[in-house]
Every structure is written in structure tokens, then in C-alpha cells.
Amino acid sequence: MLVEFEKNIADFIKANQLFGPTAKVLLAVSGGADSMALLYAMRALKADGVFNGRLIVAHINHQLRGSQAKLDEDFVIAQARNLNLPVVTRRLDVRGFASKNKLSIETAARKLRIESLLDIAKANNCNYIATAHQKNDNAETILQRLARGTGFRGLGGIWPTRTFAEGVCFVRPLLCVSRNEVVEYLKEQNLKWRIDRTNEDCKYRRNYIRHRLMPALQQQCSGPVVEQLSRLAQSTRRFRSLVCSSAEKVWPGLADCAGEKVKLELKIFSVQPEPVKIELIRRSLAAIGSGERNLTQQHFKRILQLAEQNVGGKKIELPDGFVVWREYEKMIFVRTDRILKPDEQIVESVKVEVPGRT
């Protein structure tokens, strides 16, 4: 019989349609408290018949903590075998990758971890990867985005689902519970977990937010900050869904997509609310292969200004080799490495390099 913690997760999975009852789900398990709660809760749902699909455990060893990392790996393997679940491990050279690509250790670890989980999922025919993000992680993410600058989409925090181009969907079944609830569940079930001492080092921004900023905010606020930020994220995600729905309706009559080039009809574009305009810009950039990691609010602001100005010949240069310009009653999005036709030559450019992400 399911306990309250497990029932909450089952209800959250159903309410947010994370995956069906017969799905193949890869569980990302580090050995920490959150991932152990995810592992045992999902196994409980399967034992109770709420979930009848296939569960596979994946452990990513970043090899950043010496012998402790090996102990984490051994611990997860033992836990998975104790539950009669198949387990796959992967060891990564994060330091080497970070040095070669001039990335921070955090960024390199995240990139390699996601790639590894996607590889393992595809190799095992899993369409879903479940990670153990919970309410506190969500609150910390929102504060981190606020600190660096964000738009309304960033205020949505960690979304319950995120689908990658490979067709694999990341799901977060624990977003309905807090860190305290996770620890209480593990203690009630007499379950053990591994402790990563690097999570206490406040030289990392995430840890500073967790151990310094969040407690300070809570002291100054009458209500529970984590719950309030969680509600903010839910409201923002609902608004975001409405914006996406509006953009979806006008997109077919607005956009002309041809290879690595998109033309937007400004007559239709100009009458849309600003949030819908920004979503249409995002879709246009995505259609030509542009990601959003290096885009800022200022980039979107300049594109909006370009659409409003009846001036041809100006070009906005975006990160990673993408450009936008206006041509009569159309706005053109294209890669700079595409060979332009004579009538597409650009005579003036406006380069935007301003901090603060969208």
C-alpha cells in the first residue's frame, strides 16, 4: 500500500501527464537523498500496480570526488540490485572536457550528464528520463535566473517535462514535494542515501543560494518561500502555455520556412501581444537551428524594435552565427554561413552584446 509521499507523486504524474502506466522510464540516480526517494517511490508505484512499465536505473559518475565517487557508484548499483532493477553506469572525464572546451566544471558536468543519460535511454529504448528535482531545486532555479536576468518564461522554473530533439522526454516526478518531505520519507522507510560534501561549498552559486540566500529570505518572509515560489512557477507556466497556444495558431499563416531561413509576415506579427511576439521570435530562431543559451533580453528587444521600424538594410547579429533583418514587410531570420543572394546583401549591422538573459 502506498504511503502519502508516494501517493502525492502518483497524483502529480497523472495530473501532469508525465508518462503513461506502461512507459519505459530511465531513473537518474546519483545516490543522494532526492534520487533515492525517486528510486524507491517509483519502485513502490510499480509494486502497487499504479505503474506497470519498465524501470531502469542510470548512474553517472563524474569522477570529480575521487574514492567518494566510486562509493556512490557502488551504492547505487547495490540499491538497484536490491530492488531487482537493471542498472547502467557511465564514467565521465568532466575535467578533461571542461579544459578542452573552456567550460566551467558545472557546465561541463551538466552537458556530459545530459548527453550520457540520452545515450543510455536510447540504447535501452526508454522514452522518458526521470530526474529527482524537487520544490527546493525549483525555488533555487527561479532565484538564480532572477539574479542573472530573466523573462516570464524563466520564472516558470523547472518544468515537469522537457522533450529533446531525440524524442526523449525528461520528467520530474518529485516537483510536488519539498526537500524536507524527501528526507522524512527516507527516514520513515529506513532508507539510506549518500552525502555529497561539495554541495555544501558556497563558492558555487547554487550552493550559495541554497545555504545562504534562501534561509535569509525565509527569515524576512511570513510565508514559506519555497511554496510561494512554487506557486509563482505554476502560474507562470500556465501563462506560458496560453502564449504558446496563441503563437501556434498564427504560425502557419505568418511564417515561411525554407531550410535555414525563416520569413515572418510583419502585418500579422505586428498585431500580436508582446509575449506572443517573443515566442514567435523564439520559434523562428529554433527553426534555423539557433539555441537560446547565449541569447539575452536585449537581443529580443532589438529584434522587436527592428520589426517596428520601417527601415531596411539594418542587421542584428546574434550569438553563434545567426542574423535577423527587415526586408519590406517581412522579417528575415538566417544563419550567417548561408550564402546570400545578391538581393539579400546587408549594408548595415547592429551588433548586440548586453548581459542579462531572457
Q: Residue 271: phi, psi to the nearest 5?
A: -95, 0
What pLDDT sits at residue 312?
A: 66
Residue 274 contacts by C-beta under 8 Å, 6 or more apart in sequence?
304
Q: Whole-angstrom Cα distance, residue 185 to residue 264?
A: 52
Q: Cα–Cα distance between 235 and 175 in angstroms, integer?
A: 15
Per the DSSP assignment, residues forming a β-bridge with 27 are: 57, 130
- What is the per-residue pLDDT for 165? 64
Task: Residue 307: name the closest of 351, 340, 268 by CA.
Answer: 268
> Coil, strand or helix: which one is 150?
coil
| Contact present, 350 and 315 (Cβ < 8 Å) | yes
The whole-model pTM stands at 0.84
H/E stretch holding 5 reads helix 4-15
User: What is the structure's pLDDT at 356?
Assistant: 52
Fold exhibited by the domain 259-351: 3.30.465
Same fold, 4-229 and 259-351: no
- Report the top-level CATH class of 4-229: alpha beta
User: What residues does each domain of the chain span?
Assistant: 4-229, 259-351
Residue-by-residue pLDDT tens, the chain, 358 positions:
999 999 999 999 999 999 999 999 999 999 999 999 999 999 999 999 999 999 999 999 999 999 999 999 999 999 999 999 999 999 999 999 999 999 999 899 999 999 999 999 999 999 999 999 999 999 999 999 998 888 888 899 999 999 886 789 999 999 999 999 999 999 999 999 999 988 888 988 899 999 999 999 999 998 899 999 999 999 999 999 999 999 999 999 999 998 789 999 999 999 999 999 999 999 999 888 887 777 888 899 999 999 988 776 688 888 888 999 998 899 999 987 654 443 444 434 444 444 554 4
